[in-house]
Amino acid sequence: MTIAIVVLISGRGSNLQSIINAIDQGELPARIAAVISNEADALGLTRAQQAGIETRVLSHLGFANRNDYDLELRNLVAEYRPDLTVLAGFMRVLGPRFVSHFAGRIINVHPSLLPKYRGLNTHARALADGASEHGASVHFVTTDLDAGPIIIQTKVPIYEHDSPEILAERVLKQEHRILPQAIRWFAEDRLRICEGRVLLDGGTRSEQGLTSHLQ
């Protein structure tokens, strides 16, 4: 089945591009119904337009509070009746007004091995800690920031002279791999959330202890 997805972005849109490419290459049974940005000058909007995808901008500026923005964004996303909403570099925290409405149908890509380094500046924080490895996660979104059930994670090594920028690039390459993979599993109806954990293929993998499908 081909699923309809809405992608939320705030900037560069390289993860959005990885989804567009996977669809173009016939690797992802999905159709991007719309790309929505909270920033009018997001490069990702240009990428979407070049791919012939409808774009919308809903700036967070001018809203009296977070709840009002969440409600407006929820209504905008709902117009497209998505099976799945994908946060691909969307740099706003979404509250219950948004998240509860789409529960189990929103995923986010995050540049760390969650639960490590929720929030911002993950690469600099991993380096400051002297960590030997870092990575990326795709998870279902809940009202707890970057704390929802993990679908897939991937590790990268940290080398001695890494800068945050070099490390970010290494992690980003993996994001471009695991985000389309997670969407594919969702489209193929292979994911279930059970007691706060993600089961792939009815839990066979999790029974083997691979609850986060670490690659």
Distance CA 122, CA 134 (A): 9
Choose, by CB under 6 A, the member of 7, 175, 178, 200 that binds ligand GAR. 175
Q: Is 88 in the site for ligand GAR (CB under 6 A)?
A: yes
Distance in angstroms (rounded) separating the CA atoms of residues 111 and 171: 7
Distance of CA 201 to the CA centre of its chain: 21
Whether 139 is catalytic: no
Residues 25-44, one symbol each (x = binds ligand GAR by CB under 6 A, - = not), give -------------------x
Give the binding-site size for ligand GAR (rule: CB under 6 A).
Answer: 14
Q: Could you say whether residue 15 binds ligand GAR (CB under 6 A)?
A: yes
Scan for tokens 């929720």, then name that residue. 118
String marking each residue 89-128 x if it binds ligand GAR according to CB under 6 A? x-------------------xxx-----------------
Mind giving me the DSSP string for 87-113?
ESS--S---HHHHTTTTTSEEEEESSS
* Of the candidates 16, 66, 20, the residue with the CA atom closest to the CA atom of residue 36: 16
| Contact footprint for ligand GAR (CB under 6 A) | 9, 11-15, 44, 88-89, 109-111, 172, 175
